[in-house]
């Protein structure tokens, strides 16, 4: 067991550190800065351009596509170092690099690659994801948005939800149904959509947090040129898999339980503090043990990846536990504080952060693989248990209930 970088990792890290020290500070956001969205996107694009010029845009993308052709460990090392700076990194850039380019690279034509890859790497094009629908989330292949061929274009009608930053994106990656007469996975087709096309109507969703990070996107008689189709008709599901199965190794989340211990210690109780209550200590220590375990589990996954092994569904364990832990511990923290956590009269900052976590944790448990989907993955792919019985198996989409 050894916590140090290998020789190659160390060399790459020092190269990255030096480059970031020279280039990142000029792009950093001031602490606590609240930028308006278009300003943030502009700064995010500028940083992406800097990365491109430095040779660090698209570390995992093959060289043939203009990426760095690096290893996943290099991507992890770069992220670790980049995170030390407060840089503008938004989904409008991440979706392009992490989702749009891999699909275009794998399923797209030469012309499409030429048109989209380099401008995206340079931060000139921003992207949003138009996958989920009101009745197609975990069951993505149930999408109903229709595309009907009309001359040299497709006419698209339907509704997409949960597209972050759609209002500031130049292009969207879009999956729609082109053939409802076949089983649902086979009737899908993948497109890139110019978000300025007539008939595209982006509306912010008012979330339970009060913010509007996500949008719903209504598509009404939108004409999408044929040359925006990625892959063949019916190849949409394969494209989605390229997006969703891309090898990912998320950064570990920062520890929060020590802060909650402080929060408890700042809560008076019976002449002492809430942290002197054995029940509180037991709950927080248990959460802390899990948080540390996640950190070392992440280290194990990273070790696997550095050897070229694919952790597969093991990686789901990180996300599954993080989201519920955030919900449980922020709820617990409110209970520890007691009535004051309902409406603090003073020193409200810490309590507001806990409110935020308690609200946001609900979205985390659903987005990017709901808890239940992840448990299925773990039991099926790690433990080898049987897949779910499916009522839609072999049934054409238009005959499904």
Partner 1 sequence: MNFDLAEEQKMLAEQARGLLAELSPPDRLRELIDGNAESDEQLWRAVAELGFLGASISEEYGGLGLGALDLGVISEEMGRAVAAVPFYASIVCAADAIQTFGGADQKEVWLPRLASGDTVGTLAHAEGRQGWWPRGAGVSFENGTVSGIKTPVGDAGLAEMAVVYCNVKGVPALAAVDLTSDRVKRRKLDSFDQLRAHYAIEFHDAPASLLDASVDDEEAIRSLIDRISVQTSFEAVGGAEACVYMARDYAMDRQIFGRPLASYQAIKHKLADILVATEFARSNAFFAGWASDNSPDDLAVAASAARLSASNAYEQAARENLQIHGGIGYTFEADCHFHYRRERTLALTLGPRQYWADRLVGQIPGNQMEAA
- What one-character DSSP code corresponds to residue 249? -
Sorted by sequence, the CB contacts under 8 Å of residue 55 that are 6+ apart come out as 68
Give, as one character, the DSSP assignment of residue 399: G
**Does 2 sit near partner 1 (CB under 8 A)?**
yes
Residue 373 as a binder of partner 1 (CB under 8 A): the answer is: no
Alpha-carbon gap, residue 139 to 132, rounded angstroms: 9
Closest distance to partner 1 from the beta carbon of 379 (Å): 4
Tell me the closest approach of the beta carbon of residue 393 to partner 1, in angstroms. 14
According to the binding rule CB under 8 A, does residue 339 interact with partner 1? no
For residue 287, give Cα distances in angstroms to 284, 325, 332, 353, 354.
5, 7, 10, 18, 15
| CA trace torsion 53, 54, 55, 57 (10° rounding) | -70
314 binds partner 1 (CB under 8 A): yes
Binding region for partner 1 (CB under 8 A) out of 188-196, 238-246, 336-344, 386-394 = 386-394
Comparing C-alpha atoms, which of 220, 245, 246, 213 is closest to residue 160? 220
Q: Does residue 1 interact with partner 1 by CB under 8 A? A: yes
- Name which position in 386, 390, 394, 401 contacts partner 1 (CB under 8 A): 386
Give CA–CA dist 346/331, Å, rounded.
20
What stretch of H or E contains 223? strand 214-225
- Residue 226's contacts (CB-CB under 8 Å, 6 or more residues apart) are 149, 152, 153, 154
In whole angstroms, the minimum distance from the beta carbon of 350 to partner 1 comes to: 14
Selected range binding partner 1 among 43-51, 156-164, 271-279, 360-368, rule: CB under 8 A: 271-279
| CA–CA gap between residue 369 and residue 372 (Å, rounded) | 8
> If you write DSSP's letter for every residue of 191-215 in order, what string do you get?
EEEETTSTTEEEEE---TTS---EE
Instruction: Select the residue interacting with partner 1 from 6, 220, 251, 310 (CB under 8 A).
Output: 6
176: CB partners within 8 A, 6+ apart: 143, 145, 146, 147, 154, 156, 158, 188, 189, 191, 236
Among 206, 292, 352, 356, the residue binding partner 1 under the rule CB under 8 A is 292
Site string for partner 1, 9-48 (x = CB under 8 A): x---------------------------------------
Binding of partner 1 by 380 (CB under 8 A): yes
The span of 23-31, 63-71, 194-202, 254-262 binding partner 1 (CB under 8 A) equals 254-262
Judged by beta carbon, residue 143 or residue 275, the one nearer partner 1 is 275
* Position 394 contacts partner 1 (CB under 8 A): no
Q: Exposure string (b/e) for 51-88, b if CB count within 10 Å is 16 or more? A: bbeeebbbbbbeeebbbbebbbbbbbbbeebbeebebb
Of 86, 157, 207, 303, the residue at the interface with partner 1 (CB under 8 A) is 303
Q: Which of 151, 278, 308, 394 binds partner 1 (CB under 8 A)?
A: 278
Is 205 a binding residue for partner 1 by CB under 8 A? The answer is: no
**Residue 388, interface with partner 1 (CB under 8 A)?**
yes
- Residues making contact with partner 1 (CB under 8 A): 1-6, 9, 258, 261-262, 265, 275-276, 278, 281-282, 284-286, 288-290, 292-297, 299-300, 302-304, 306, 314, 317, 320-321, 372, 374-376, 378-380, 382-389
């Amino acid at each position: 067991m050894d916590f140090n970088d290998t020789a190659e990792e160390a060399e790459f890290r020092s190269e990255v550190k030096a480059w970031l020290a020279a280039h990142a500070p000029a792009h950093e956001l001031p602490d606590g800065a609240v930028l308006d969205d278009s300003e943030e996107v502009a700064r995010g694009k500028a940083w992406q351009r800097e990365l491109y010029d430095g040779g660090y845009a698209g570390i995992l993308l093959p060289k043939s596509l203009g990426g760095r052709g690096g290893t996943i460990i290099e991507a992890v090392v770069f992220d670790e170092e980049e995170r030390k700076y407060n840089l503008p990194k938004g989904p409008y850039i991440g979706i392009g690099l992490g989702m749009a380019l891999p699909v275009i690279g794998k399923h797209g034509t030469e012309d499409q690659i030429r048109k989209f890859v380099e401008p995206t790497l340079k931060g000139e094009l921003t992207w949003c994801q138009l996958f989920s629908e009101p009745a197609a989330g975990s069951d993505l292949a149930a999408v109903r948005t229709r595309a009907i061929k009309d001359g040299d274009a497709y006419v698209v009608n339907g509704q997409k939800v949960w597209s972050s930053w759609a209002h500031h994106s130049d292009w969207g990656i879009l999956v729609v149904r082109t053939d409802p007469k076949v089983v649902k996975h086979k009737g899908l087709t993948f497109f890139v959509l110019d978000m300025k096309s007539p008939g595209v109507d982006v509306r912010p969703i008012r979330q339970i947090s009060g913010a509007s990070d996500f949008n719903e996107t209504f598509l009404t008689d939108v004409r999408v040129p044929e040359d925006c189709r990625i892959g063949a008709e019916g190849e949409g599901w394969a494209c989605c898999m390229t997006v969703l199965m891309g090898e990912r190794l998320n950064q570990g989340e920062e520890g929060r339980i020590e802060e909650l211990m402080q929060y408890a210690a700042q809560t008076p109780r019976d002449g002492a503090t809430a942290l002197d209550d054995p029940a509180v200590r037991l709950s927080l220590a248990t959460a802390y043990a899990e948080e540390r375990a996640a950190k070392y589990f992440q280290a194990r996954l990273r070790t696997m990846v550095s050897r070229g092994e694919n952790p597969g569904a093991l990686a789901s364990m990180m996300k599954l536990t993080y989201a519920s832990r955030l919900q449980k511990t922020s709820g617990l923290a409110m209970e520890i504080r007691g009535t004051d956590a309902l409406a603090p009269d003073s020193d409200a900052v810490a309590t507001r952060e806990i409110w935020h976590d308690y609200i946001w944790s609900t979205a985390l448990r659903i987005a990017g693989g709901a808890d239940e989907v992840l448990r299925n993955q773990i039991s099926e792919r790690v433990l080898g248990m049987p897949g779910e019985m499916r009522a839609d198996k072999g049934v054409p989409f238009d005959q499904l209930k």
